[in-house]
Amino acid sequence: MVKVMVTGATGLLGRAVVAELEAHADFEVLACGYSRAVQGIYRLDLTHCSQVTAFIKTHQPDVIVHCAAERRPDVSEQNPAAALALNADATRSLTQAASQSGAWLLYISTDYVFDGTTPPYNEHSATNPVNFYGDSKRQGEMIVTEAKQGFAILRLPILYGAVETLPESAVMILLHQLLDKNEQLVDDRAVRSPTSTADIACAIVQMIQLQTAGEPLSGHYHFSASGSMSKYQMLLAMGDLLGLSTEHLKPVTSPTDSAKRPHDCSLSCERLASLSIQSNVMFNSGIEKALQQSPAAMALLKK
């Protein structure tokens, strides 16, 4: 039985990872959350190093999947200290505790560690984030790398999946603009690769299985769906899927966000592909399933 600790287990990606792990009988899951911790979730404040150290010492996980993060670029720009506390400082606490206990750590990072000027980016491409969110995640990566314990970093693009609230996903929240029939200005500049959290969770489980079977995984890895599109194109696809008009959506090609976004951070995923770990969920089918699994989103559509 492999004991796997998952941070951010109440979040968008964390829930998918926990569900996929629990579908396998050979895993014991230690699901950790904080603000939304409910029965079955260990309440753990990752910003308190002593709590992290005590938890890992007590439960002795074999694997730690660090999903918890401040993932919102605009919020990170406005409150950099809070972003660093979770994306870097908490990562340091987990890395130190994992090093001491012998657990293998998988740190979830982002395509925003790149500047978006020379895609696609492979696992060895130079990082150069253009906003504070990307920089805070790069700092987390450096902490994990400097530990020199054979830990791994998994970079991911923009995510969608089953949501409890629409703001959990930068993709799913676009439904508000689809449903509000007043003229909506939608970004058609930044190129993204929307990727299913269920698809990612399958990849993470495969990585853990390889690691625990004696095939060490360390360093940087990328996982991403193959399709690239702007948020405007995502909305056109969702509108077509749901049979809703998109005539009120107006594409804009100049930046509109308060935090700068890179133009195109498309990821090349050679290292995982060489291990036969690849994305197999296309956007149309993935977003359709995510909508079906998201009562909050579907309730909006019925109004």
| Predicted pLDDT of residue 124 | 96
Question: Which residue, among 25, 14, 15, 269, has the nearest Cα to 155 in the 3D structure?
Answer: 269
**Count of CB atoms situated within 10 Å of the CB of 148:** 9
Is 169 among the domain residues?
no
**CA 135: distance to chain centroid?**
16
Per-residue confidence (pLDDT) for residue 36, from 0 to 100: 72
Considering the chain, what percentage of its residues have pLDDT values greater than 90?
A: 85
State mean pLDDT over 47-52: 95
Tokens 């979830």, located at residue: 108
Backbone angles phi, psi at 147, to 5 degrees: -65, -25
pLDDT over threshold 80, residue 301? no
Could you say which DSSP state residue 62 is in? S
Per-residue pLDDT band for 82 (boundaries 50, 70, 90) equals confident
Residues constituting the chain:
303
- The secondary element (H helix, E strand) that includes residue 49 is helix 49-59
Residue 252 lies in a domain: no
Question: Is the separation of the CB atoms in 284 and 236 below 8 Å?
Answer: no
| pLDDT(302) > 90 | no
Give CA separation, 72 vs 137, 182, 198, 265, in Å: 11, 26, 20, 16
In-domain check, residue 287:
no
> Cβ–Cβ contacts within 10 Å for residue 208, how many?
25
Question: Which residue range(s) make up the domain with 13?
Answer: 2-164+194-228+266-281
Least confident of 1-5, 78-82, 135-139, 182-186: 78-82
What does the pLDDT look like over 230-242, one tens digit per residue? 999 999 999 999 9
Q: With 70 as the cut, is the pLDDT of residue 303 above it? A: no
Q: Which amino acid does the sequence have at 275?
A: L
Position 125 confidence tier, pLDDT thresholds 50, 70, 90: very high
In a domain, 108, yes or no: yes
- The number of domains in the chain is 1
* pLDDT band of 107, cuts 50, 70, 90: very high
pLDDT at 260: 85
| Total Cβ atoms within 10 A of residue 276 | 8
Average pLDDT over residues 28-46: 88
Is 184 within a domain? no
Residue 219: which CATH number? 3.40.50.720
Q: Which residues is 59 bridged to in the sheet? A: none
Q: Are 206 and 277 in contact (CB under 8 A)?
A: yes
Is residue 37's pLDDT more than 90?
no
Confidence at residue 39, expressed as pLDDT on a 0 to 100 scale? 77
Residue 133 lies in a domain: yes
In a domain, 218, yes or no: yes
To the nearest whole percent, how much of the chain has pLDDT over 70? 98
pLDDT of residue 258: 63
Average pLDDT over residues 177-191: 94
Whether residue 183 lies inside any domain: the answer is no
Determine the pLDDT at residue 40.
82
